[in-house]
Every structure is written in structure tokens, then in C-alpha cells.
Amino acid sequence: MNTVRRIRRRLLPLLLAAPLVAAAACSGSSGSGGGDEHVTLTYAIWDQAQAAAMKQIIQEFHGTHPNIDVQVQVTPWESYWTKLQTSVTAGTGPDLFWMTMVYAKYYASGGGIAPLDDQIKKSKLDLGAYVPAVTEAYTFGGKVYGVPKDVNGFGLCYNKTLFDAAKVKHPDDSWTWDDVVAAAQKLTNPQKGVYGFVAPEADELSWYLTVPQVGGQVISPDGTSSGYDKEATIKGIQFWTDMITKYHVSPTLQQTTDTDPLAMLTSGKVAMRYCGSWEPEEIAAVPYGKANIAIAPLPAGPDGNRNYYSNGLANSLSAKTKHPDQAWEFLQFLGSDRAAEIQAKTGTVIPAYQGHADAYAKAMPEFDLQVFVDHLKYAQPFPASTDTAAWRDAATKQFADAWTGKAPVADVSRRVAETMNRALAKEKK
């Protein structure tokens, strides 16, 4: 998305009962938005690590558009969607903002984001320049609701120093789940407070990476029914809970709630963690992490399948911006080859604009970022429906029983499927 940055994220309620059709005003902007008028646009994002790149993009844009100022609003993921929903409903929302596949259809159908087809037809913006799967994810009813920004790859981050101390072979592209379990058992050292693996209860950075590897599915291809009650899906989730309740090689749910699992990795408390392509910069910001963490390919499923669910972000335009012409000018630049180049060279994301993956891979020589790029060919569409939050948030809450060992994964998965199917049925009405 994402696409999601911190592994402890929990989806917050989107105030679903409130209508998305907003009043006329939009935050931070003034005036009518004509020709040479000096205006200020607001641009909402959730990742502080990308703020520097966004500000560089804005600076270059302002150089050719001196009458348009852009203010970046950074809101942490944990409160981003609640704040956005509230402001859009009140008519005080940002002019442009990051959108994820998870909520795109919700905001598009509710009138929160504007269709861009008319502007695209009149411009030089080429949708063929982007990763097709990301463009398709923001197209509903034949209309485009976002300009692709980035796409997510995944890998296995590991502590090479802990591996060497335990005389465990470093992971490579031959690894499967069994190799992860075997290594985690050797690396776990209760006396030193070190775990071999961390198994968070966080879908995008846990079971969304393993369920597709065994042929499972979170949602049916037509988006009308849950796949959580399928045996293959249950198997993909069981991999994670076994790390805690069976093998005892991972911190507990309570521990990963109290302490960010990425911080556990970068402080030497866990030896392995599945990680996303947006995270190396945060790892490198911690001296211990920069010196000791390496990146290997995402382990395959038992039969060698490497598929995974991938999110990808887009930049969307508020349907209620008071400056649609200026906002569209900036949106075009956000989706430009130059903006993609700026993002790629920071190593923060893999741009959805094709042709910049190599620049991303070379951005941080201390890490093998090519691992993330190579994994993109296994990406599957991110699970989403019109009202994804109605069932995704419920799933996160219910699976806590499986992560704590209070109930078998199969039982919880079937309960999650029932809840999800009820939510999906409401979408049809």
C-alpha cells in the first residue's frame, strides 16, 4: 500500500455510518483556483520516512508552478484513516491524499475521491507507464480514481550476526517454511531473551504472505465471499500461530502489541522477520539494524509456491477540492517519471512507474533491495471489496484468539468467514 508501514498497525473504524459526500469547503485552500491565482494545496500522507522525498517533489513542482504551494500533512497510519474520513465528511479534507487498495472502492463509491478520466484524456498522462495491476486496482466501473504511486515487494529480514553466532546458514532462495521453523528453533535463546522469529498478528505482514503460497484465499476472485473457511487458507494462517503456540520461537501477541516487531528486529531481540520493501530505510535509521540486518528472498510455501498479496498506493484527488485545476497539475507531477525517480533513489518505495526498480534496488547499498524487486512477479491482487474495513478489522480482532492459543486456528477462521460473509452480503444490498 500501501499499501501498511508499522507491523503493529490496527485498522481504526472509518466511521462507516457517516456519508462520504462532503460539504463544499476543503482544507487549507482559499480562493477559486483560476489561472494565475496563488493557491495553497494540502497533501496528506502517513509515512514520515517518505516526507523528505515528497517535499523534494513539491519543491521541483513549485519551480515550474510558482503560483501553487503545497503543504504536506503527515498523519501516522494509526489515525490517518479516521482523520481523513472525518475531514472528508466535514468538507475540510486535504486536496490530495495517499490512497490504498484497501479503501479505494469505498471512497470512490462514496464520492470522496474524484474520477480522473476527463483530465487524463486531456493530458499527456500515460496509464500504460505504470504497473498494470496497480492501475487496475484503482479502476472501478471503467473510471480511474487514482494515479499509481508505488507497489510492494516482500522478503525475509534476518540478523546475520545472530545467525553466525548460532552457526546457522543464512537464508537464500531455496528456503521454505520448514527452513524458517528449523532456523528459528536454533536461533531462539531464552536465556538471552532472543527469539528466532517474530509472528505478528498483522495480516499484510503475516498471513497475507503465506495464504496464497498454499492456494488459499482471503476473498473470492469475484469479491462476493470469504475464503477464510477454506482448508488451504487455514493452513497458511497456522504457520504463524505455530511459531508462538507450538514451537515457542516467537514473542507472544502481548509482547508484539507492547513492542513494535520491527524494533525487536533492529535491537537484536528477534533473528527473523518478514518485511516489506518500504522498511529498509527505517531499519537503516537504527545503527544496530544497519550493521546487522540483511535481506533474503521471501521463503516459499511447502510446495515451492511464492505468491503473496501485494498492496500498492495511489495519489487521489479529493472530489471536493476548491482548486481542481491546480490539484490536477500537482497530481500529474506526482505521477511523473521524475517524481518516480526521486522516490526510487531514496530507497523508500518501489515506484509503480515502470523503469525505476533498478534505481530503488541501488538506493541503499548496505541492503540487497533487489530481493524485493525480484519478488514482484509473484504479486497477487490485495484482498479488498467496497467496504473492506467492515470485515478486515473484525478479522484482526477475532484472530487474536488463535494467536494467544485460546481457540484453534480452524475454529477462528470459520468464525471470521461467517462475519466476513455477512459484511459482504450487505454490500450487495
pLDDT in tens, 196-250: 999 999 999 999 999 999 999 999 999 999 999 999 999 999 999 999 999 999 9
pLDDT in tens, 328-383: 999 999 999 999 999 999 998 999 999 999 999 999 999 999 999 999 999 998 99
Domain hosting residue 196, numbered range: 154-308
121 and 247 share one domain: no
Is residue 241 located within the same domain as residue 275? yes
Q: Are residues 83 and 212 in the same domain?
A: no
Q: Which of 301, 243, 300 is nearest to 272 (CA)?
A: 243
Residue 173 sits in the same domain as residue 81: no
Q: Are residues 207 and 270 in the same domain?
A: yes
- DSSP 8-state symbol, 405: T
Q: What is the pLDDT at residue 279?
A: 94
**8 Å CB contact between 171 and 155:** no
| 175 and 287 both lie in a single domain | yes
The answer on pLDDT for 131 being more than 70 is: yes
CA-wise closest residue to 372 among 279, 289, 236? 279
Q: Are residues 175 and 84 in the same domain?
A: no
Evaluate if residue 99 carries a pLDDT over 50: yes
Q: Read off the pLDDT of each residue in 129-155 and give the average, rounded to a whole number.
A: 95
158 and 301 assigned to the same domain? yes
Q: What is the pLDDT of residue 37?
A: 86
User: Over 90: is that where the pLDDT of 323 sits?
Assistant: yes
The answer as to whether 188 is a domain residue is yes
Q: What is the Cβ-side half-sphere exposure of residue 336, based on CA atoms within 13 angstroms?
A: 17
- Alpha-carbon gap, residue 240 to 370, rounded angstroms: 26
Q: Could you read off the pLDDT of 11-58 as tens digits, one per residue?
A: 333 333 333 333 333 333 333 334 578 999 999 999 998 999 999 999
Q: What is the pLDDT of residue 264?
A: 98
Does any domain span residue 372? no
Same domain (yes/no): 48, 98: yes
Calculate the average pLDDT of the chain: 91
pLDDT at residue 86, as a whole number: 92
| CB contact at 8 A, 276 and 108 | no
Q: 415 in a domain, yes or no?
A: no
Interval 276-308: pLDDT, tens: 999 999 999 999 999 999 999 999 999 999 999
Measured CA to CA, the distance from residue 365 to residue 242 in angstroms comes to 35
Residue 115 lies in a domain: yes
- pTM for this predicted structure: 0.86
Q: Is residue 282 part of a domain?
A: yes
- The confidence score (pLDDT) of residue 35 equals 55
Query: Does residue 230 share a domain with residue 123?
Result: no
Domain total in the chain: 2
Q: What local confidence, expressed as pLDDT, does residue 26 receive?
A: 38
Residues 185 and 109 reside in one and the same domain: no
Percent of the chain with pLDDT over 70: 92
Instruction: Say yes or no: 166 and 293 in one domain.
Output: yes
How much is the pLDDT for 8? 32
The mean per-residue pLDDT over the stretch 104-128 comes to 95
Report the C-alpha gap between 379 and 373 in whole angstroms: 11
For position 287, which CATH number holds? 3.40.190.10
On whether residue 53 sits in a domain, the answer given is: yes
